[in-house]
Amino acid sequence: MDKVKFDDIAALIRDGKIYYDFASAPLVDHEKARLFPNPAIADLFFRTIPDAESPVVKKETGEILSWDGNCFQIMNVGLTQVTLLSADKTAIPLDNDNFNSLVKQGAIVGLNVKTDSQIMLKIQEKLASANPKDIEMMLKRIKIFNGEIKASRSTRRSLNALYRKGEIEFGNGNIGFLTHSARGNRSHRLDIEDYEMMDKVIKGEYENIIRKGKMVAYGALEKLYEEKKRRCPSFSTFCDYINRKLTVHEQTETREGTSAGYQVSDFTYYLDAGTPRHGDYPWQYAHIDHTELDIFLVHKRTKKVLGRVWLSLLLDANSRVVLAVYLSFSPPSYRSCMMLLRECVRRHGRLPTNIIVDGGKEFHGLYFELLLALYQCNKKERPGKRPRFGSVVERVFETTNTQLVNTLIGNTQPTKNVRQMTKATDPRRNAKYSFGEFYKLACAYFYETYNFSFR
């Protein structure tokens, strides 16, 4: 690297146009020094590329190890031997002397899956070979595993086994839920009349305050089938249909009343100015929402009016701090959501544990849900037709219009009374802010002025 190039690179680093981690290696070390477009790319690189030295082996229960390219988990640490658990649930006992010898030789190394390139490559290959149905099934299994969808005990046991296998093999339990689509005859075995008869019995015998058991309701179903001279479905089929038809909340509410149903209802993600901040800690819950701002923006050079801009926010529900801001002329889509999460990672290096959204189509895209699943971020949906449940974000939008947008030239306040608007007050004629200028103002407002009030 000659002096001219070195000075140019140093100037780019100083101006923030490229990023360099000075703690990684001296800048003059041509072999080890690496430059990146931004800190997020650098963090991703150092997480996916292993260091020259193998990680230290921790002789603790639950520690994940790599032995000859295969992943193992320490199941038990005894006085005389260490028991390893393979991905196929095979227990392998090793004497302490043999285990320590393999560690010294480097045959067994500590495995941090997030920093192992081979594991990352396996994850990428697994995702590349999956079709949309496989991904949809993976997302459904995640919801069942998190308790959002009711399922049988055997299903939950199977999902627990898949989750543990994913943790051992990939370091991410959610990846274990990604399997190939089931083969064979998946068509329904019952016809429409069978479902209609079961619906009639469930509504008349099961969904009431008498609280009859499923076996009693099934007896009524058998009697109905005898009258029709048809073959009755099995009791397990009848129970599975009830569980698929009714959630735990619906079953409890129809049989035990609204008070009992409230105890098992989903958590409602509602906040207003007087509601205590929910969540035990920051980053536990975060809201995402969009709004079209009341201001016209113009082209930087031609000064032609481009229209109004959409604002997307990611807001922490506990601290009420704005985590990320994204602006776009395009209506909200899954791209807006993913760019918002990308900005959050770029600024903070992490994602929230739970993200709360409304019923918008942009929040139900396959790629958006897959991104959340890969990083083990849970998506929670606010109740439909209840706008107050998203008031925490709506209040921020109103505050933004009051404190920022309405103080700038080109805002749309005059258009609210069109009869009194003149050419002199027309916001399209007065608009002067370009997209870049307004983006800087918005970032300064949210990240400095607005967030400062919560410190």
Give the pLDDT score at 114. Answer: 43
Per-residue pLDDT of the chain (455 residues; tens, 9 = 90+): 444 466 777 778 877 778 777 766 666 666 667 777 767 656 645 544 444 344 567 777 777 777 876 778 788 888 888 888 876 677 888 888 888 888 887 778 776 544 455 677 777 777 777 777 888 888 888 888 888 888 888 888 888 888 888 877 777 788 888 887 655 666 667 888 888 899 888 888 888 888 888 898 999 999 999 988 888 999 998 888 888 887 777 778 788 777 776 666 655 444 444 444 556 678 888 999 899 988 999 998 888 999 999 999 998 888 888 999 999 999 998 889 999 999 999 999 889 988 988 878 888 888 888 888 888 888 888 765 444 444 567 778 888 888 888 888 888 777 777 777 777 888 888 888 999 999 999 999 999 888 876 55
CA distance 371 to 174: 11
Fold of 64-111: SH3 type barrels. (2.30.30)
- Return the domain boundaries, the chain: 3-48, 64-111, 193-263, 285-452
pLDDT of residue 273: 44
Q: How many residues does the chain have?
A: 455
- The pLDDT value recorded for residue 247 is 76
What per-residue confidence (pLDDT) applies to 329?
92
Q: Which fold does the domain 285-452 belong to in CATH?
A: Nucleotidyltransferase; domain 5 (3.30.420)
Q: Residue 45: its pLDDT value, please?
A: 56
Q: Which fold has domain 193-263?
A: Arc Repressor Mutant, subunit A (1.10.10)
- What pLDDT, on the 0 to 100 scale, is given for residue 261? 67
Residue 359 is predicted with a pLDDT of 79
